[in-house]
Amino acid sequence: MKKKKMFHIFDCMVILIVSAFVLLDTFVFTRTYAVADSHESSSETEIQQTADTNMLGLEKKSTDPEVTASSYSDENIQIEIKEYEYEDSTVYVADVQISDLSYLYSVFANDVYGKNVTAETSEMAASSNAILAINGDYYGARNRGYVIRNGTLYRETSNNAEVLAIMNDGSFEIVSDSTVSAVRLLEAGAVQVYSFGPGLIENGEIAVDENDEVGKAKASNPRTAICEIEPLHYLFVVSDGRTDESEGLSLYELAEFLQTLGVRTAYNLDGGGSSTMVFMNEVINNPTTSGRKISERSVSDAVCIGY
């Protein structure tokens, strides 16, 4: 009887140790898989050729931009940020127009592709001299889901989900990763591929139902979305939530709001405490995880506009 009890205690200890290791490996232990390529020299796609042409033949970076508290304008990049109130929530919309796709790029935390490697969105914006940045898809919180950044393929395992491909002509495509491989997307000209979702607007029509939600997320949540009006004309959108001042939006409410802005394609990125917008090195929204404290969450990656 004592032996059985001892074996039972031993089995429980093993289960606890294994469970603890799995949790630590999933959420704590960091792994670096690759050093990220520069967004200026990461691929042999058309976008890279455009960037090279700019660097070799033209003055790529503007020397005399017009900047205000809510706008930026030069010969290549125009950004105007507006604040809206929708469904008891504060929504920040950055209207972005760029002359070519080299001015939209992705940044990894600490400039490495890995697991549980994180940094605040504002840190990534500052390290890459971004004019505007929002949080990305937090790829490092998952082991699956396509990761293509700045023309380089980092992960090609399917997550049976909708992904957003930003193509080398500046257009957005939302596709299921169960129907097209990451390699095929890269060959077709995908420069950035994000795996979070779902798609919110497709061909100008709302693509989610009123009850759709991301995993176990609450119906009213901080949100981040990236949208296309037309190629090279985008909206970066962040909604506050979980506070008395801003309740947060459901996916359907976010899609309804974006449709009023005339977007053709809209895709949901990581939300909740991750939702952050940075403009000229200032966090302009109120990111929060619990609603009790306004502070940035460290995440895996950011989507940026800049040089």
Predicted confidence (pLDDT) at residue 50 exceeds the cutoff of 90: no
Lowest mean pLDDT among 32-46, 55-69, 141-155, 181-195: 32-46
Mean pLDDT lowest among 2-6, 80-84, 208-212: 2-6
Q: Residue 2 and residue 296: Cα distance in Å, rounded?
A: 52
Confidence bin at 17 (pLDDT 50/70/90): very low
The whole-number pLDDT of residue 35 equals 67
Average pLDDT over residues 253-261: 98
Whether residue 154 is predicted with pLDDT greater than 50 in this model: the reply is: yes
Evaluate if residue 13 carries a pLDDT over 90: no
Confidence band of 213 (pLDDT split at 50, 70, 90): confident
Query: CA geometry: angle at 288 spanning 286 and 294, to 5°?
Result: 60
Q: Which region among 13-22, 130-139, 199-208, 296-305 has the lowest average model confidence (pLDDT)? A: 13-22
Domains contained in the chain, number: 1
Residue located via tokens 């200032």:
282
> What was the pLDDT predicted at 49?
36
What was the pLDDT predicted at 197?
Answer: 96
Give the contacts of 20 (CB within 8 A, at least 6 positions apart): none
- Domain of 101 in residue numbering reads as 2-306
The pTM score is 0.84
